[in-house]
Each structure stands twice: as structure tokens, then as C-alpha cells.
């Protein structure tokens, strides 16, 4: 039911003793746990435990580290690895990341555990890396250039290989599953032998997976980053913006749908990671690489732009690079209000004592958020200074051309169509959600708030409008107050991860919530 806590919940967090116990993971001399991967797409309601033992709502571009756990309720998720490989989760699914190792040779070792639901994995750009997938007591070695799907339902698991090869170890048996073959098995107590079938059974989410792969294939051209080991996020960078010649400022990348007033650090979240402290997370769909590599520069008469560089900040992106051009306090009027040092490049990070802080997600808004969005079922509105926020990737044609019209007119309407996609829970019952394939509806207009403040009726990081799950990054849908991730439209049941819901209920993942008219109900706690 809309507004309820997702049924796909991370497993109970490890105990203190388990957290203190070192994980073997096949470590070799010179190896490290320095890797981070990227939550490259987040649609609907998701839950992420960032290795802290604390499941929380999440958003696109959130770093994923070793021991993280990611679950989808009615949402969809994509994880992008450093080499451009991807992992996708449809609704009602969960994966754990027990191993993310950087070998001393530069190769990467990854283990992904499917706890429930379905996972799609595409390693078609992988070279010399070690990638394992586990479910129950079954371990699968995924070779480079492989595209596969693994499903679990009713105590059974089904492995389907679209391209490449997978070596599956079930008990004492070892089975090779090749291209366009599948195998079903018991992941907990597998037989000594399994039978490989020469067939590929289609599922409702195969088209979504295919479209995502086509997007990356089309926009992955990374001429300027081919030698960088941290070139993930290139597809979104190429789709949502482009490089310009900014005169005396040199060449810089700028997102589409921005003016000179746009501030790259005007909105975001500080996310706390064990051993690293707070890391800045950008809400923009392209907002991974420019906040972890290179530097931002303000160019008079142009605005903010990003310039690639050799500096990689990883999780420690709290001190990003900046080119020392004069920065006006009012960018749209560069001749007025110049202050020494200019405006701060980003909001200051939270300060906390040693140990895990009480608030591991801290919102930092110093300007109202602007969304491009669907204002009715067949019309999409592109808005200036949205910087691509709310724009679905790969579905709306040439954004450069549209951006030029937005720059002149302030906004542009574009007629679109949607195609709904269904699915099923692990128990075989239909998923009660309506997820557009062609258009992922953006969030509604900002409902208020201002610099450094989350609006009073805080809605979702990523929600949908109308009579779907409602909510939005900074404003509720209809009269519902929604919450950190998800929420409900007016007239539907309440919900969200950290409160909100209907006016009469305050709930969701951390308590409360319920139908309109109930003072409180349900919730995870």
C-alpha cells in the first residue's frame, strides 16, 4: 500500500562484536578497502545502511562502501562501479556488499549478496576484476563481459545469463552457465547437480534493465577520462551538460538549465561514513564526478563550471577544489556586492564529537530548490536553474537544444507520453505501484524553505506527484506532508521514512503514519 514502509528491509544490523570482528574477504598483502561505488539511480522509496548498522532513506549519488546494504520498497535502484559496470534492483529487492576490495595490482574484488528479490548485473566493461554474487549458500563467479539476472522467490533462485558466462558453485557441484541459458536451484540446500536450460524467460523488468544499458552505452563516451580510474558517472555528465569555452576561464563543464545565479553547492546533504566523517552528496542526477574530482570555478559573465583535474576526493570531499576567480555575493549582478573570497563554495560541514553522530544525514540548503517536472500526465516542464533536477535520463531527447530555449524563456513545455510497467512481489502477488518507463515523474515545485533550512513540510528526496507516492525533494504533493523519502498523496495512506504522512498522522519508517483520520499507526519502530 502506498505510504507504508517498504517490505524490502535490510537484515538486522550486525552486533557490536560482529562490527568489531575483521572480515576476511580474501584480502591479500597490499590490498585495501578504499573503494566506494555510486548509487547512480534512485527512483521511489529505497533504504540504505551505509555500513553503520542504521537503515536510512537515501538518494542518488550516495556513496556505497563495503558492508553497505541496499533495499528497494516500491522503488528502483542502480549502482555504478568504478569501471562503469552496473547493478540494478527492481522493487522488493535487497543486496548487501560484504566485499569491496582494491587489489595492490589495481584490480577490484567485489562480492554482492542477493538477500531477496531480483538483481541485474552488467559487467560488459569489466577487465581483470573479481566479481562474485552470492545468494543463500550458492556462489557465482561472474566473468568479464557478462550480463545476467538473478531472481529469488518462494525458496527458489533462478540464474539467467544474457551475455557471457557464470560459474556457479552449489554444494559440491560446479556448473557453468553460458549465454542465453538459465538454471533454477535451491540457494540454501542445493542438489549435487543442477540442470541448465537453453532458454531465457522474460520478466516484467527486463525492458527497464535494457533501457538503462542503452543509456550508458550511448552516453559513455569518455574521451577526456579514459585514463582515469575514477571515470564513473560519465554517462550522466554527458547527458545533462556539456563543455563550453568560457573565454579567460578556459574550458569548463556546465549543466544544462542553469543561469549565472545557479549555485552548485546550494542544495545537498552531508552523509556520515564510519572512518571518514561527513561526505557531501549532491542531489543532481549528474552530481557524482564533479563533487569528487577536479574543481569548480566561477567565471564572471558565465557562472559556475566544473573543470576536470587529477585530484580525487573520494569520501573526503569536504574540501573541494576551487579556481580563484572573483566570486560575487550576487552572481547576477557581478558589479555589485563583491566580497573578499566571495561566497562560500559549499555549506560548512557538521561538527560532531568522536564516534558516530546522532544525525548521520544532515541537509544543507542555502537556496530554494528548483525542479523540472511533470505538471500533468502528458506534459513535462523544463525550468531554468533546475540544473537537470527532476529530468529523467535518456528519455527527453537533446537536452542541449531544450536548454537553449529555457535560457531564453525561463521554462519550456514538452509533450511526452508514459508507459506503465508492472511487476510482482516475491510471493507472486502484483506490485501495487505505477512506475513510468518513458517518464519518471519529477518532484513538485518547492513548497518553501530557504538557505540552510529544510522546508517545514519536508517531503521526499525523490518522490512522484499526483496520486502515486507523492512528495518531492522540498515540497509535498497535494496536502500530504510526506517525508524524507516517499510519502503519500492527499487521500492516501500516510508514510515516509522519517515522519510526515497525512495531516493526522506522523509516521513511516521511524514510527507513526497511517490512514487519514488516524492520529498514528504503523511504522518500522
- The x, y and z cell numbers of residue 193, run together, are 547437480
pLDDT tens-digit series, residues 328-370:
455 444 433 333 344 556 667 787 656 778 889 999 888 889 9
Helix/strand/coil for 234: helix
| pLDDT reported for residue 227 | 54
Domains and CATH numbers, the chain: 29-199 (2.60.120.1440), 233-363 (no CATH)
347 vs 483 pLDDT, higher one: 347
Q: What is the DSSP letter of 127?
A: -
Mean pLDDT, rounded, for 259-265: 91
Average pLDDT over residues 14-21: 34
Q: Considering only CA atoms, which of 282, 269, 232 is closest in space to residue 388? A: 282
Q: Read off the pTM.
A: 0.76
Handedness of CA 401, 404, 405, 406 (dihedral sign): positive
pLDDT band at residue 459 under the 50/70/90 scheme: very low
Question: Which of these, 438, 428, 476, lies nearest to 456 by C-alpha position?
Answer: 476
pLDDT tens for 484-519 read 333 323 233 233 333 232 233 333 333 333 333 333
Asked if 410 and 340 count as a contact pair (C-beta separation under 8 A), the reply is no
Bridge partners (DSSP) listed for residue 100: 110
Yes or no: say if 119 and 150 are a contact pair by the CB < 8 Å rule: yes
Task: Output the pLDDT for position 513.
Answer: 34
Three-state SS at 22 = coil
Q: What is the pLDDT of residue 72?
A: 97
Per-residue pLDDT band for 24 (boundaries 50, 70, 90) equals very low
Average confidence (pLDDT) over 450-461 = 28
Least confident of 84-93, 97-106, 492-501: 492-501
Which pLDDT belongs to residue 93?
Answer: 98
Give the whole-number percent of the chain exceeding pLDDT 70: 65
Closest to 242 in 3D by CA, of 410, 371, 400, 382: 400
Is residue 225 scored above 60 in pLDDT? no
Amino acid at each position: 500500500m502506498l505510504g507504508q514502509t517498504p517490505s524490502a528491509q535490510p537484515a538486522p544490523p550486525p552486533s557490536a562484536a560482529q562490527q568489531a570482528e575483521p572480515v576476511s574477504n580474501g584480502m591479500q598483502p597490499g590490498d585495501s578497502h578504499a573503494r566506494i561505488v555510486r548509487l547512480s539511480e534512485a527512483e521511489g522509496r529505497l533504504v540504505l545502511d551505509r555500513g553503520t548498522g542504521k537503515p536510512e532513506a537515501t538518494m542518488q549519488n550516495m556513496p556505497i562502501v563495503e558492508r553497505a546494504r541496499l533495499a528497494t520498497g516500491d522503488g528502483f535502484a542502480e549502482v555504478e562501479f568504478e569501471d562503469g559496470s552496473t547493478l540494478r534492483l527492481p522493487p522488493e529487492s535487497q543486496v548487501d556488499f560484504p566485499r569491496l576490495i582494491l587489489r595492490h595490482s589495481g584490480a577490484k574484488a567485489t562480492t554482492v549478496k542477493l538477500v531477496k528479490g531480483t538483481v541485474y548485473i552488467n559487467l560488459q566493461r569489466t577487465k581483470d576484476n573479481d566479481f562474485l554474487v552470492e545468494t543463500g549458500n550458492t556462489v557465482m563467479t561472474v566473468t568479464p563481459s557478462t550480463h545476467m539476472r538473478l531472481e529469488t522467490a518462494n525458496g527458489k533462485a533462478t540464474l539467467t545469463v544474457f551475455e557471457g558466462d557464470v560459474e556457479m558453485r552449489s554444494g559440491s557441484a560446479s556448473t557453468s552457465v553460458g549465454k542465453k541459458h538459465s538454471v533454477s536451484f535451491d540457494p540454501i540446500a542445493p542438489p549435487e547437480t543442477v540442470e541448465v536450460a537453453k532458454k531465457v524467460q522474460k520478466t516484467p523488468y527486463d525492458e527497464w534493465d535494457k533501457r538503462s544499458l542503452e543509456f550508458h552505452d550511448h552516453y559513455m563516451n569518455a574521451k577526456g577520462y579514459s585514463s582515469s580510474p575514477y571515470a564513473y558517472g560519465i554517462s550522466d555528465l554527458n547527458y545533462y551538460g556539456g563543455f563550453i569555452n568560457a573565454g579567460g576561464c578556459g574550458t569548463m563543464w556546465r549543466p544544462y538549465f542553469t543561469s549565472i545565479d545557479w549555485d552548485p553547492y546550494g542544495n545537498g546533504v552531508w552523509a556520515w561514513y564510519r572512518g571518514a566523517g561527513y561526505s557531501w552528496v549532491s542531489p543532481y542526477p549528474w552530481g557524482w564526478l564533479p563533487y569528487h574530482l577536479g574543481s569548480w570555478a566561477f567565471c564572471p559573465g558565465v557562472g559556475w563550471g566544473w573543470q576536470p583535474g587529477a585530484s580525487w576526493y573520494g569520501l573526503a570531499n569536504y574540501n573541494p577544489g576551487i579556481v580563484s576567480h572573483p566570486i560575487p555575493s550576487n552572481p547576477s549582478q557581478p558589479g555589485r556586492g563583491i566580497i573578499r573570497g566571495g561566497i562560500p563554495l559549499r555549506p560548512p560541514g557538521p561538527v560532531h564529537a568522536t564516534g558516530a553522530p546522532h544525525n548521520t544525514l544532515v541537509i544543507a540548503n542555502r537556496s530554494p530548490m528548483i525542479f523540472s517536472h511533470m505538471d500533468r500526465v502528458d506534459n513535462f516542464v523544463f525550468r531554468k536553474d533546475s540544473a537537470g533536477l527532476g529530468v529523467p535520463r535518456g528519455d527527453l531527447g537533446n537536452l542541449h537544444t531544450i536548454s537553449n530555449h529555457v535560457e531564453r524563456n525561463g521554462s519550456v513545455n514538452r509533450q511526452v507520453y508514459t508507459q506503465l510497467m508492472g511487476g510482482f512481489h516475491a510471493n507472486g502477488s502484483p506490485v501495487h505501484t505505477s512506475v513510468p518507463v518513458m517518464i519518471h515523474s519529477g518532484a513538485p515545485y518547492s513548497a518553501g524553505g530557504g538557505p540552510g533550512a529544510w522546508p517545514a513540510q519536508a517531503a521526499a528526496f525523490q518522490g512522484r506527484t499526483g496520486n502515486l507516492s507523492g512528495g518531492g525533494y522540498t515540497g509535498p504533493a497535494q496536502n500530504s506532508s510526506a517525508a524524507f523519502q516517499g510519502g503519500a498523496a492527499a487521500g492516501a495512506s500516510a508514510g515516509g521514512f522519517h515522519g510526515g504522512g497525512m495531516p493526522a498522522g506522523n509516521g513511516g519508517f521511524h514510527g507513526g503514519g497511517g490512514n487519514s483520520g488516524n492520529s498514528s499507526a504503523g511504522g518500522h519502530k
